[in-house]
A and B are shown apart, each in its own frame.
Chain A
Amino acid sequence: MSVLIFVEIDNGTIKKTSLEAIAYGAKIAEKTGGNATVLALGAADATELEKAGFYGANRVLHASDAKLAHENSLAYADVLAQAAAKEDSKIIILAKSGLGDAVAARAAAKLKAGIVSGVTELPEINGAFTVTRSIYTGKAFATAEIKSDVKILVIKKNAIEVDESQLSTSTAIVEAFAAALRDSDFTATVGQVEKASSELSLTEADIIVSGGRGMKGPEHWQPLLDLASALGAATGCSKPVSDLDWRPHHEHIGQTGIKVAPNIYIACGISGAIQHLAGVNGSKCIVVINKDPEAPFFKAADYGIVGDVFEILPKLTQAAKNLK
């Protein structure tokens, strides 16, 4: 029996949220007395995949068929189900993302597995297997028992605390995994792919600097970008900002946009409407900069500064630069 962890690969390396999933799966394996096995698909260097060992994995199954190089949730789910059957895995872990949810869902239907998405902490395993997940867009939690033989957990960022200074020193053994690919998973023709590859992805970012209508216009974004670059942060925005095309749509955070869970979320000139808060309430620490002391965002914040963003941002950028 092994715990199987599906990882996402970006530019040949395992994504950070997937490293968390490995640590999470390894903790369960430790409890249940099995191995932690990773499944990686597509192009990746063995030396990168070995690093799964630092997070507690024993082995990495690598399906490197060229057809798997492009993100394809249908084929990925197929390979995941094959690996689970071969390894006799009863517990499958994925990191929450559009791809993670899609792969998990299709694999669940194949394996007749109970699936819980949005898990926020380690499961309780004593006879019953119970998990807690986030519901109502972060406003509450639900605890449920998974009864099925095979269990699939899609975990949220920060579901487990990974101490980077306490990692294991042993690497994982990388083995080739020969998957049977079905033509029916490749009926779609992929056209254009627009991906800002140099940008830090919002769902992965530890720090996000985000701007609202208070930033006044796209031509005023530089101070925000400067702070983001000084902090090594990703940038986000409120919905009206992307609706107005001040910033690209994929930066839009909130109930109808992306949900993020960074360590630090810095909101600049965002009022803090409930629909925006729905996308950020998983953040560890929220900083709000707004000239209106009555802005609702302050109620959800850990640190607040009342003032003009254009005066405050350069000061923060300078202080961030001085840190280094």
Chain B
Amino acid sequence: MKILVCITNVPDTTAKISFTDNDTKLNKNGIQYIIGPYDDYALARGVELKEQFGGAVTVLHVGGAEADPQIRKALAIGADDAIRVNCDPLDSYFVASQIAHIARENSYDLILMGRESIDFNSGVVHGLVGEMLGIPSYSPVMKLDIEGSTATIAREIDGGKETLSAPLPLVLGCQEPISEWKIPNMRGIMTARTKPLLVVEPVSVDDMTVPEKYSLPAPKGACKMIPASEAETLIKLLQTEAKVL
């Protein structure tokens, strides 16, 4: 089975976000980068499926060289090789076009992604790639099993879940509890150093959206404390003061 896992390189969840260059660039100072947490689930399940059925896992990242440590980490976790499309991606359409291009050249049985990236939180790259390749896409997938050329998945729907089975190839956006995050072991880290990381240039795509500027939310006002002995007054305050009830 040939599996492609698409990973993002994103600021750690606890990172404090601020901007520089007249609010046009993220201030990367002091920010620790990680593999997107949902992508990490996709990677873990991809590696498990490879161990079960044989084949190979390729990790793909669309972005600059600053992601290389995270790509190496994915290799240490168990991916066999990696591709990085060297660019500074503008938007989801651009990213999806690059992923679709790589996928067309290599025909994978499964393309696993995270349910969403935690920087742009769009949750659209899997759908875009699926349509660009003319194959189904499903998200968020919480359970994935393969039998022959059919995938059985459980996915979250509004207020519940649904199971469905569909023929491969598929594009899937993953989330827990599809698998448990894997931590690289010493042997993995050693072998990752020599696994191939292919760097390719992007294919050209029309500009769909162009970023202009970033901003931060207005600072939160102070929290109004209500003594526990007068807890019931909260309901009145929500009605008359906050006017949300």
Contact = CB atoms under 8 A, between A and B. Distances in A.
Contact of B159 (A77, A109, A201): A201
A278 B118 CA distance: 10
Contacts of B11: 136
A220 interface: no
A300 interface: yes
A118 B124 CA distance: 11
Nearest to A231: B245
Contact of A118 (B121, B136, B156, B234): B121
Contact of B209 (A140, A145, A307): A145
A22 B119 CA distance: 28
B147 interface: no
Interface residues of B, number: 80
B62 to A, nearest CB: 16
Contacts of B164: 188-191
Contact of A117 (B124, B206, B225): B124
Interface of A: 10, 71, 73-74, 77, 97-99, 101-106, 108-110, 112-118, 130, 132, 134-148, 154, 184-185, 187-197, 199, 201-203, 207, 231, 249-250, 255-256, 263-264, 274-275, 278, 281, 284-285, 287-288, 298-308, 311-312, 315-316, 318-320, 322-323
Nearest to B241: A303
A71 B39 CA distance: 25
27 contacts: A77-B127, A98-B139, A98-B158, A101-B124, A102-B138, A104-B124, A105-B96, A106-B131, A135-B121, A135-B214, A137-B13, A142-B213, A143-B211, A143-B213, A144-B209, A145-B210, A188-B136, A194-B162, A250-B156, A250-B159, A255-B118, A285-B242, A302-B242, A307-B228, A318-B232, A319-B231, A323-B245
A68 to B, nearest CB: 15
Contacts of B234: 287, 303, 305, 316, 319
A305 to B, nearest CB: 5
Contacts of A154: 124
A101 B235 contact: no
A142 B211 contact: yes
B94 to A, nearest CB: 10
Nearest first, the 5 A-B pairs at minimum CB distance are: A105-B127, A307-B228, A114-B208, A109-B131, A195-B160
Say whether chain A's binding surface is mostly helix, strand, loop, or mixed.
mixed
A303 B209 contact: no
A305 B160 contact: no
A37 B20 CA distance: 41
A234 to B, nearest CB: 9
A115 B217 contact: no
B14 to A, nearest CB: 5
B140 interface: yes
Contacts of B220: 299-300, 302
Given A140-B216, A144-B212, A303-B238, A117 B122 contact: yes
A191 B214 contact: no
Contact of B17 (A136, A147, A184): A136
Interface in B191-245: 206-217, 220-221, 223-228, 231-239, 242, 244-245
Given A109-B132, A187-B136, A196-B159, A143 B209 contact: no
Nearest to A185: B136
Contacts of A318: 232
Contacts of B109: none
Contacts of B211: 142-144
A203 B167 CA distance: 31
A147 B207 contact: yes
Contacts of B206: 112, 147-148
A136 B164 CA distance: 31
Interface string B137-152: 1111010000000001
A323 to B, nearest CB: 6
Contacts of A118: 120-122
